């Protein structure tokens, strides 16, 4: 009968090399997710306010009336407009203009998140009816989930989540405490006849 023990584990040097090479990837992916979540959290109130404007309501109706390929053409213009500056920013960083390149990269990425993500959210169902777009989107989602799975499996992620939950709880408690102090102070002022 055959051996059912399975394949031998990789040699120690390969496991160490894999861990060393994975560390920068985990750090970069973590920073990217945190940056994107921060930008989305900061921009969400602005998006909500803009969505209520008549201009954006009309734009939404216009986009919903388009066919899938017209929607793709409409989506491609801002996407390409924001990808060009990102590539140029990477070129600037690579050629020694780090400060300007980084600023351009951050600004173009934030603008891309604001415009392109919102546009994709509005037109997603229609765009995914185009088979190549659906395939590439599926690959991107699987790649993101794989990278996020690696990051979530690290001890650093567990510590970051614990820290974030603790900070959120502390902020909520501080807000409640400040509100309680303000309420007591207001009552004291009313009793003192100063309000």
> Domain extents for the chain?
12-153, 155-195
Q: Where are the beta strands (DSSP E) in the chain?
A: none
- Cα distance between residue 165 and residue 172, in whole Å: 11
Q: Tens digit of pLDDT for each residue in 158-169?
A: 887 888 888 888
Per-residue pLDDT reduced to its tens digit, 3-13: 566 777 778 87
Tell which residue, 61, 65, 71, has the closest CA to residue 128: 71
In the structure, what pLDDT confidence band is assigned to residue 80 with cuts at 50, 70 and 90? confident
How far is it, in rounded angstroms, from Cα 1 to Cα 52?
A: 71
Among left, alpha and beta (phi > 0; psi -120 to 50; other), residue 60 is alpha
pLDDT at 130: 92
CB atoms within 10 A of CB 145: 11
Asked whether the predicted pLDDT for residue 47 surpasses 80, the reply is: no
For 129-186, the pLDDT digits (tens) are 999 999 999 998 898 888 778 778 878 778 878 888 888 888 889 888 888 888 888 8
Q: How far is the C-alpha of 163 from the C-alpha of 146, rounded, in Å? A: 23
């Amino acid at each position: 009968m055959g051996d059912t023990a399975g394949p031998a584990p990789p040699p120690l040097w390969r496991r160490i090399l894999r861990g060393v090479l994975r560390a920068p990837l985990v750090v970069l992916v973590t920073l990217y997710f945190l940056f994107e979540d921060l930008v989305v959290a900061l921009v969400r109130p602005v998006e909500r306010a803009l969505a209520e404007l008549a201009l954006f309501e009309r734009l939404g109706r216009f986009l919903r009336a388009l066919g899938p390929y017209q929607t793709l053409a409409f989506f491609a213009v801002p996407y390409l407009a924001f990808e060009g500056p990102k590539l140029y920013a990477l070129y600037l960083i690579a050629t020694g203009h780090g400060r300007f390149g980084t600023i351009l990269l951050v600004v173009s990425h934030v603008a891309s998140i604001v415009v392109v993500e919102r546009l994709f959210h509005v037109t997603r169902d229609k765009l995914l009816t185009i088979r190549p777009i659906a395939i590439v989107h599926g690959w991107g989602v699987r790649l993101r989930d794989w990278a996020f799975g690696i990051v979530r499996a690290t001890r650093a992620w567990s510590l970051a989540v614990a820290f974030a939950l603790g900070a959120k709880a502390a902020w909520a408690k501080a807000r409640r405490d400040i509100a309680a102090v303000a309420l007591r102070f207001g009552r004291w002022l009313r009793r003192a006849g100063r309000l």
